[in-house]
Structure 1
Amino acid sequence: MDCLSGRFLEVRIASAPERSCQARGRWIKTCNRTTWLGDKTSTSSGDSRPVPLALKKVSAMAATPLLLALDQGTSSSRAALFDPRGFPVASASAPLAISYPADGWVEQNPRDIWESQRLAMERLEKTISQEQRGAVVACGVTNQRETTILWRRGDGQPCGPALVWQDGRTSDICQQWKEEGLEQEWRARTGLLLDPYFSASKIRWLMRHEASASSAAANDDLCFGTVESWLLWNLSGQKRHCSDMSNASRTLLMDLKQRVWVDAFCEQTGLPLSALPELVPCRSDFGTIASGLPFAGVSIHALLGDQQAATLGQLCLQPGEAKCTYGTGAFLVVNTGSSIQRSDAGLLSTLGWTDDQGKPTYCLEGSLFNAGTVVQWLRDGLGIIETAAEINQLALSVADAGGVMLVPAFTGWGTPHWDPGARGLLIGLTRDTGRGQIARAALDGIALSVAGLVQLAEHSIGHGLGELAVDGGAAASDPLLQAQADSTGLRVRRPAYLQSTARGVALLAGVQAGLINNLKDLESLRGEQAEVFEPSLSAEQRQRWMKQWSDAISRSLHWHA
């Protein structure tokens, strides 16, 4: 029970890593003393183990300022509290529905996105004590990127669905722009490619097909935003219409070097310039959470795209440091410092984050559209597992994939092929192939896809990465991370707390709030309680494996020409 209020307090205590690859933690209800990182605690069940969280007993919490992170993802929304060192204190989540109305189409209801985030906030606020609630001093917002929303300024009602980043319905629009010779300038100025992944073609599609959007534009009543803009609009009581530079850099509408909207690109989409959000730094004063909402009155101090936030959360603060997040998709991000690193191999130049004056840190990024969705497909499509966690046991029940490979191109291929017509492939099946081999091939396929991104990144920056920090829900899988180490030849580091996205935006909000002097002061914490996976294959074995993988990918491309 909460020793002050007499209520039960839910606190997440992450367990020590287990080779069985079960969930890396469990929820307990306790009023036992919990201490700083590395100390021991005894629960009511009597077991004693290291606690990889910086939790204090509730009676001391009032003296500890807390940071609120709102983490809006593709399949769920999360609200989490952190202390100023980035250690998690409590969290809550709410699911989010996603719709696939046609092949390659992926959409969500903008109202559902907001309601999911609001519900996560409400659940968290009801879970914590009054003392903890009073200690929350700043909020940061992080989000699924590129997902595109149009709404009416006058009443805040959406103009059609939110077109999700995975949505590929706009491939014809992108192809038309390419045929018109627009791609070279677009790529030079934005660091991106003309692909349905990004927001520009999604805006064009909505403007063409949603009558409410064109009507709002005609009446100068239209607002465009990616998800952080939509959340801020609702969090602020419809007072702030802003987009931070990290999210804006994923729209195909922002000049990456000048960090301004490009009017000509906006006009190409049919979007009135008056519909653009104010372009702002990633940390600043964005107002407060409106009255009547959970955590009302808390200052909003940070906005950051999810992959950039995870890079910060992993404390990849030096040029050349890299992380990979395994969520719905998998995303490799390499810090390139103050310089824009260009790639001729399909990697993206993007803005990582800024200070409060807009001074940028840039990154190089590789994108895999399907990672966690592969596990969902095995569960909901094939039905060979009942829960996501079962894939690990099933994969470890066999020595290897038995020559089977699963190419996870369910909604097209991102880096380096940028082929919206690619589709998934399961190849190498024999009469001896069973559930175990397919499960193993699924995890191997995610790892091999990321390994291809790592090779491209190392070539682009001119040196090896040395170590790969990993996070996200699927990073709880031991066989996945061992395959990642084997396929890349890198040391793979898994932190005790896998939700680096929420942690990163909380830390950025803490800097703006004055609770953290410099994020580099926290770098010494990066390896604490982390588990490391070392490569077990020889260079020759790795090369053969990657060659076979390259052959499998080639068969999946241009399936829908």
Structure 2
Amino acid sequence: MVEGDYVLVVDQGTTGTRAALVTSDGSIMSYAYREHTQIYPKPAWVEHNPLEIWEKTKLVIKEVIEYAGVNPRRIAAIGVTNQRETTVVWDPRNGQPVYNAIVWQDRRTSQLVDYLKRNYTDMIQERTGLIPDAYFSGTKLWWLLDNVPGLRDKAQKGEVVFGTIDTWVIWNLTKGSKDVLTPERGGAHVTDYSNASRTMMFNIHKLEWDSELLEIEGKIPEGILPLPRPSSDKRIYGYTGPEVSQILSGISVPVCGDAGDQQAALFGQAGFDAGEVKSTYGTGNFILMNIGEKSVKSKTNLLTTIYYSLEEGKAMYALEGSIFITGAAVQWLRDGLKIIEVSDEVEPLASAASDTGGVYFVPAFVGLGAPYWDQYARGLIIGITRGTERKHIARAVLESIAYLTRDVLEAMMTDTGIRIPRIKVDGGAAKDNFLMQFQADITGIEVWRPSVFESTSLGVGYLAGLAVGLWRSIDDVRQNWKLDRVFKPKMNPDTRERLYKGWKAAVQRALGWAKEVPWAYELS
């Protein structure tokens, strides 16, 4: 019988780290959050300090327990969810990273990706479900091996290890514990299938690292890669080590749930039937469709990815459209243009405009993701006249989020032949009623918003809880999902298509811009 009635979740995201306590009825009892530093060494380069991330992780774990006033003995399990493709290499003997974490948004490996696209696009898509892009971890690791002095030699000797952020956090959670799946690494050096599927080095059909891909992506030694495991693992990745157990009043808790943030969000939205779709509105926008037990090769430049796994050697699959910059564009309005002081001001400002006055905004700050996959696209604002005001710019920024989402949904319906009945939404911007109504209007599809917004934390909480028996099956999870509000389309179909045609024209002007004017950008 499971001991404890809470799951502790670590949700390590692009801008900060959240800890949450998930209850057995599928609610969030308490959470704590801390931002970490964004590091921009060069244009289009983005880094994080892994040690800062770990320090903030320990801090939010301590704070969430204090805020809730819960005895740590009531924590049945720990789950980890994360920004997926961000890459860390460290020395497992002392826990010291060899370099900053290279963030998923980073574009420094664009030239390596060009080489892969010219020579191996079909092979990579067939085996990994991915389209070659600097977004994924493989070329980031390749760059580190080639550019950090002495690192390749250390990797060949097995003196360093690689991981995405989930692996880094789980290793630190279990560091020093004797009860882990990989005791020789000083902690649990593991990842789950969903995170492994985002590296561009993992065969999503065989559920194992692909030796040929490792060779062509910079001769990466397989020995530095983490052990791939199910997202909900009854074998347990490991138990918390002394550093974390001290925060938990001396007890040791099993770490047994792991999923990439977007997969965790679909799981938290109870997206268990083929055709179910969720859209998460965060730093970027990520739309996933459950496609079941068999993978589908996209014909429209979407990604095929592993959704989740409850059993070793088996997985569920999803189609994904990854949009790099959405909520980050609102931050740009605040921090870059300074036309708002706080992010919450954008909704009333945008709502003050009856339309954009013909203005379109394409947020291609780091290229465009699905379904365009143009790493040389750059952002633009077009349609400006003397009558353009800041409210029109704000509205155009919010509308761009909905337009990009429609681009992906159209591609999903083309690939699967399924007419999407509803979009389940989550993430910070899902609280924006203006944006959610425009999303329904521009797609002609109902938008369903749940009562619990933190679907990512909830999803990985369920995965960890299933591993220890806190929930018996996904049917228990399904019954916990609760609806807050439905946004129904109100826009005239002719208006919808006219506005969308204007959006597609604006995107065409943004595509390939940095390649046309390479002197304007330092891409290498």
Match of 1:226 among 164, 167, 184: 164
Change (3 A) 1:332 1:529: closer
CA contact (8 A) 2:26 2:480 kept: no
Moved over 6 A (4+): none
Q: Does 1:415 align with 2:370?
A: yes
> Gaps (5+ residues) in structure 2?
176-185, 516-524
Q: Does 1:549 align with 2:487?
A: no
1:291 equivalent in structure 2: 242
User: Alignment partner of 1:118: what SS?
Assistant: helix
1:86 equivalent in structure 2: 26
CA contact (8 A) 1:317 1:520 kept: no
1:123 equivalent in structure 2: 63
2:315 equivalent in structure 1: 360
CA contact (8 A) 2:471 2:477 kept: no
CA contact (8 A) 1:150 1:223 kept: yes
1:523 equivalent in structure 2: 478
Paired residue type of 1:292: E
Paired residue type of 2:239: T
Paired residue type of 2:488: E
Whole-Å separation in 1 of the counterparts to 2:320 and 2:496:
23
1:247 equivalent in structure 2: 195
2:487 equivalent in structure 1: 533
**Deviating more after overlay: 141-150 vs 211-220:** 211-220
Paired residue type of 1:123: E
Q: Does 1:235 align with 2:186?
A: no
Q: Does 1:184 align with 2:122?
A: yes
2:208 equivalent in structure 1: 260
**Deviating more after overlay: 417-426 vs 320-329:** 417-426
CA contact (8 A) 1:152 1:216 kept: no
Match of 1:510 among 451, 462, 465: 465
2:53 equivalent in structure 1: 113
Encode CA deviations 1:291-312: one digit per residue, 9 max, x unaligned.
2323351111101000000000
Q: CA deviation at 1:147?
A: 0.7
Whole-Å separation in 2 of the counterparts to 1:427 and 1:174:
29
1:207 equivalent in structure 2: 145
Encode CA deviations 1:442-470: one digit per residue, 9 max, x unaligned.
10011111111011111111021110000
CA contact (8 A) 2:4 2:73 kept: no
1:451 equivalent in structure 2: 406
Encode CA deviations 1:179-214: one digit per residue, 9 max, x unaligned.
3x2221111111101110111111111111111522
CA contact (8 A) 1:66 1:84 kept: yes
1:35 equivalent in structure 2: none
Q: Does 1:275 align with 2:217?
A: no
Match of 2:108 among 144, 164, 169: 169
1:20 equivalent in structure 2: none
User: Alignment partner of 1:560: what SS?
Assistant: helix
Whole-Å separation in 2 of the counterparts to 1:493 and 1:123:
32
1:381 equivalent in structure 2: 336
Encode CA deviations 1:293-332: one digit per residue, 9 max, x unaligned.
2335111110100000000000011000000001110000
Q: CA deviation at 1:87?
A: 0.9
Q: CA deviation at 1:523?
A: 2.3
Whole-Å separation in 2 of the counterparts to 1:482 and 1:213:
50
Whole-Å separation in 1 of the counterparts to 2:499 and 2:70:
55
User: Alignment partner of 1:530: what SS?
Assistant: strand
Paired residue type of 1:537: M
CA contact (8 A) 2:29 2:68 kept: no
CA contact (8 A) 2:31 2:64 kept: yes
Paired residue type of 1:251: T
Whole-Å separation in 1 of the counterparts to 2:457 and 2:450:
14
Match of 1:147 among 86, 105, 112: 86
Whole-Å separation in 2 of the counterparts to 1:404 and 1:164:
31
CA contact (8 A) 1:150 1:213 kept: no
Paired residue type of 2:31: S
1:100 equivalent in structure 2: 40
Paired residue type of 1:262: D
Change (3 A) 1:87 1:422: same
Q: CA deviation at 1:253?
A: 0.8
Q: CA deviation at 1:522?
A: 3.5
User: Alignment partner of 1:389: what SS?
Assistant: helix
2:95 equivalent in structure 1: 156
Whole-Å separation in 1 of the counterparts to 2:4 and 2:495:
51
CA contact (8 A) 2:4 2:76 kept: no
Paired residue type of 1:197: Y
Aligned residue pairs, count? 496
Q: CA deviation at 1:381?
A: 0.3
Whole-Å separation in 2 of the counterparts to 1:554 and 1:260:
38
Q: Does 1:313 align with 2:251?
A: no
Q: How does 1:392-407 map to 2 (within 5 A)?
A: 392-407=347-362
* Larger relative helix fraction: 2
Q: CA deviation at 1:120?
A: 1.2
Q: CA deviation at 1:539?
A: 2.1
2:430 equivalent in structure 1: 475
1:340 equivalent in structure 2: 295
Paired residue type of 1:122: K
CA contact (8 A) 1:64 1:83 kept: no
2:75 equivalent in structure 1: 136
CA contact (8 A) 2:126 2:297 kept: no
Q: CA deviation at 1:520?
A: 2.1
Whole-Å separation in 1 of the counterparts to 2:425 and 2:348:
21
Q: CA deviation at 1:64?
A: 7.0
Whole-Å separation in 2 of the counterparts to 1:302 and 1:212:
34
User: Alignment partner of 1:504: what SS?
Assistant: helix
**Deviating more after overlay: 287-296 vs 464-473:** 287-296
Whole-Å separation in 1 of the counterparts to 2:45 and 2:416:
35
CA contact (8 A) 1:170 1:196 kept: yes
User: Alignment partner of 2:343: what SS?
Assistant: coil
Whole-Å separation in 2 of the counterparts to 1:212 and 1:150:
13
User: Alignment partner of 2:308: what SS?
Assistant: strand
2:520 equivalent in structure 1: none
User: Alignment partner of 1:413: what SS?
Assistant: coil
Whole-Å separation in 1 of the counterparts to 2:317 and 2:157:
38
CA contact (8 A) 1:324 1:469 kept: yes
Whole-Å separation in 1 of the counterparts to 2:434 and 2:384:
21
Paired residue type of 2:17: S
Paired residue type of 1:545: L
2:9 equivalent in structure 1: 69
Encode CA deviations 1:139-192: one digit per residue, 9 max, x unaligned.
11000001111112222211112111111110100111233x222111111110
Q: CA deviation at 1:130?
A: 4.5
Paired residue type of 2:312: Q
Encode CA deviations 1:502-544: one digit per residue, 9 max, x unaligned.
0000011111110111122332443x34111111112222111
User: Alignment partner of 1:336: what SS?
Assistant: strand
**Deviating more after overlay: 90-99 vs 117-126:** 117-126
User: Alignment partner of 1:350: what SS?
Assistant: strand
**Deviating more after overlay: 105-114 vs 288-297:** 288-297
Encode CA deviations 1:78-122: one digit per residue, 9 max, x unaligned.
000011221111110111111122221111111122222222112
Match of 2:134 among 180, 196, 203: 196
Whole-Å separation in 1 of the counterparts to 2:206 and 2:158:
27
Encode CA deviations 1:469-528: one digit per residue, 9 max, x unaligned.
0000111111111111011111001112211000000011111110111122332443x3
